[in-house]
């Protein structure tokens, strides 16, 4: 009986050690374990504009209207789900910095510097800028645009340049010489 008990103890000890090693490996390779799930971009078929950035769990949650008949037969649901939460831009943040969902959404929408003619990527650590300065303007998708470091500095320090961001992400830049340039978020 002691041999069987010893084998069982060794098995349990090995399982606990493997569990700890797996958790450590997931934490090191994914940065946050399985916390950050793959993202799904929902885009407008005609314009290619980003409508929402979600994941499979949220998509399943909002995929049906909630009526009992539709839960039983989701393919037959004919209700309009376009205004469901989670199927549009994330809500505005209360403070200066955007929340994680809003940050991901704006970076996915813009991908590259929004200054006309620039193709640099928006740095991961920052460079999302308020069109209408905070706290006078909200920290929302319609008031944030991504810039490379140089153009972000130039927007604030170069005299005579005017930037105007529309709610759909269209950026209009007026230069000191009167030239007007407009950029839209790249289509998906």
The set of residues, in sequence order, having a beta carbon less than 8 Å from that of 111 and lying 6+ positions away, is: 121, 122, 146, 185, 186
What pLDDT sits at residue 32? 47
pTM passes above 0.75: no
**Average pLDDT across the chain, whole number:** 75
Output DSSP code: residue 164: E
Domain with 15, as residue range(s), is 1-36
Yes or no: say if 148 and 167 are a contact pair by the CB < 8 Å rule.
no
Segment 167-187, tens digit of pLDDT: 888 999 999 999 999 988 887
Output DSSP code: residue 134: T
What pLDDT sits at residue 172? 93
For the purposes of burial, counting CB atoms within 10 Å of the CB of 56, is it exposed (0-12), middle (13-18) or buried (19 or more)? exposed
Segment 5-35, tens digit of pLDDT: 665 566 556 566 666 665 665 555 444 444 5
State the Rg of the chain over Cα. Answer: 24
Ranges of beta strands (E only) in 27-104 are 40-43, 50-54
Segment 76-99, tens digit of pLDDT: 666 555 555 555 678 888 888 888
Residues 70 and 146 in one domain: no
Average pLDDT over residues 99-117: 87
Residues 22 and 68 in one domain: no
Residues 107 and 188 in one domain: yes
């Amino acid at each position: 009986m002691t041999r069987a008990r010893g084998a069982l103890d060794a098995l349990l000890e090995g399982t606990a050690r493997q569990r700890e090693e797996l958790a450590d490996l997931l934490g090191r390779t994914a940065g946050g374990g399985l916390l950050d799930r793959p993202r799904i971009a929902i885009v407008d078929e005609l314009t290619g504009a980003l409508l929402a950035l979600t994941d499979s769990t949220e998509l399943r949650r909002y995929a049906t209207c909630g009526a009992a008949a539709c839960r039983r037969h989701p393919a037959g649901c004919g209700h309009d789900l376009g205004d469901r939460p989670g199927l549009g831009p994330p809500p505005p943040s209360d403070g200066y910095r955007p929340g994680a969902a809003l940050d991901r959404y704006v970076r996915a929408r813009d991908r590259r510097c929004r200054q006309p003619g620039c193709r640099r990527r928006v740095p991961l650590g920052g460079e999302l800028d308020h069109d209408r300065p905070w706290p006078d303007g909200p920290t929302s998708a319609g008031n944030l645009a991504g810039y490379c470091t140089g153009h972000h500095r130039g927007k604030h320090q170069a005299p005579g340049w005017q930037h105007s961001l529309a709610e759909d992400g269209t950026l209009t830049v007026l230069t000191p010489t009167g030239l007007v340039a407009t950029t839209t978020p790249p289509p998906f």
